[in-house]
Amino acid sequence: MMNWKNLMSAERIGEVKRMHAHPAGNLRSEFEADYDRIIFSRPFRNLQDKTQVFPLPDQDFVHTRLTHSLEVSSVGRSLGKNAGASILSKYKDIEGLTPSDFGAVVGAAALAHDVGNPPFGHSGETAISDFFAHHPVAKMLQEEVSKEQWADLTDFEGNAQGFRLLTRNQRQGLKLTKATLAAFTKYPCYSAFAERDKKKKSQKKYGYFQSEQSIFAEMADSLGLIQRHTGVWSRHPLAFLVEAADDICYSIIDLEDGFGLGLVSFEQTRDFLAAILKDKYMPEKLEQIPSDKEKIGVLRAVAIQVLIEESTAVFLTHEEAMLAGGFDQAITDLVPSAPVLEEIGVFSVEHLYQSRQVLEKEAAGFEVIDGLLDAFVLAVHAKYYQNKAYTGRHKSVFRLLPPDVVYKLDHESTSLYESILLITDYISGMTDSSAIKLFRILKGISIN
């Protein structure tokens, strides 16, 4: 059975002494410091030029990964504070924490939830996976890594990449609290887990690469997460709130973006949101707003608040089961508005996620990422692991790598697997624009 005292640990990876959530003489809590560290980090800043769903248009605002993450964090903070107030009222022996601490943990974890995503949305993950699974030289690379390491590469996962970015021992490392890291981790298992049951929400994907296995185990054991199998744990309960915040935002906000781009009619958008509002929907008040965009904005705001209230109630209903490791569902699948969210999801797949502009961006992403991996992975493999095959072309490509990547390849990497991860770090960390620019240079399409 997990307990909130351990789960809300302010200790950071590598520390031997548990930190108090509220350091003496410091008005900023350790969890608030997590939020600040994330928002000033390079991986987070790069989200401003990464596709959420729709390519950035010349006119009209649509969400990037950065604006989406800020909104998910805002919703997550509200969910965490609501849940925290009830938890602290229920468990009188918890000392030194406030509802805002729960909100800060969920808000920080939600802020970081997309930092591991590569350029071009989810198609970027598939493009990286496809390169290692289907490239002509893949079999040669596969023979030089372990089965578990190969599973990381052929099923590249943005969540695991995010955990890697948040925990890597860099000079400017984030060193987040273990509570925030665990709340960030929606999938506390590894890629090659043979008994992975994708019907369980916590095992639908995976949450850490083999390179971060020991760090993940230290975090999980320190917080008292329930171990299900070797390398597999139950979720931190607050991870369910991070997931709910993301589900709420992409369901509602993608619909609003689709309306803004003319892919969804005003009437369709209004009716979906009104179905969530139920008796809070007041068409007579809506008619007093002159602009259709403002009308949808008001409905969206109230719909999100309704979903926050519904999700909080579901979380508190199942909180004890979460502590026991017996709950493994998405909160938004159980809220009263779940049927409407499912309808929105089905509608969005057909009318938004498969719209031509989205499909064109995805197709371009496959070409760009495949081209970058082909150039840099083969150059690194030839230089460090096939010296005789290190050609002039490989040398030219290798010289385009940033100095910090070259330094790590020279001084920190001890295996092909680690070297490949440094390249996937580099490419997945690119913005959409920088990836396209470098691809054009490599292909001779654009020469400075």
pLDDT, tens digit, for every residue of 389-439?
A: 788 999 999 999 999 999 999 999 999 999 999 999 999 999 888 999 999
- Classified as helix, coil or strand, 369 is helix
Which letter does DSSP use for residue 352 in this model?
I
Radius of gyration of the chain (CA): 23
Total tally of structural domains belonging to the chain: 3
Same domain as 215, residue 93:
yes
Which of residues 238, 273, 300 is at a domain's end?
Answer: 238
Confidence band of 198 (pLDDT split at 50, 70, 90) = confident
Same domain as 347, residue 283:
yes
Dist. CA 122–CA 289, nearest whole Å: 36
Q: What is the pLDDT of residue 59?
A: 47
Which of residues 209, 238, 267 is at a domain's end?
Answer: 238
Answer yes or no: are the C-beta atoms of 191 and 148 closer than 8 Å. yes
Dist. CA 223–CA 242, nearest whole Å: 18
Which of residues 309, 336, 356 is at a domain's end?
Answer: 356
- The CATH number for 293's domain is 1.10.3410.10
- The CATH number for 172's domain is 1.10.3210.10
Higher pLDDT, 244 or 60: 244
Dist. CA 88–CA 105, nearest whole Å: 15
Dist. CA 442–CA 400, nearest whole Å: 9
Q: What is the mean pLDDT of the chain?
A: 91
Q: What is the pLDDT of residue 295?
A: 94
Same domain as 44, residue 8:
yes
The gap from C-alpha 52 to its chain's centroid, in whole angstroms, comes to 11
Same domain as 352, residue 307:
yes
| Residue-range definition of the domain harbouring residue 303 | 239-356
Q: What is the pLDDT of residue 60?
A: 55
Judge whether residue 34 has pLDDT over 60. yes
Confidence band of 446 (pLDDT split at 50, 70, 90) = low
Same domain as 144, residue 37:
no
Q: What is the pLDDT of residue 204?
A: 95
Same domain as 129, residue 72:
no
Report the candidate in 227, 228, 226, 242 with the shortest Cα–Cα distance to residue 324: 226
What's the burial of 339, exposed, middle or buried (CB within 10 Å: 0-12/13-18/19+)?
Answer: exposed
Same domain as 211, residue 62:
yes
Q: What is the pLDDT of residue 199?
A: 87
Q: What is the pLDDT of residue 177?
A: 95
Same domain as 395, residue 378:
yes
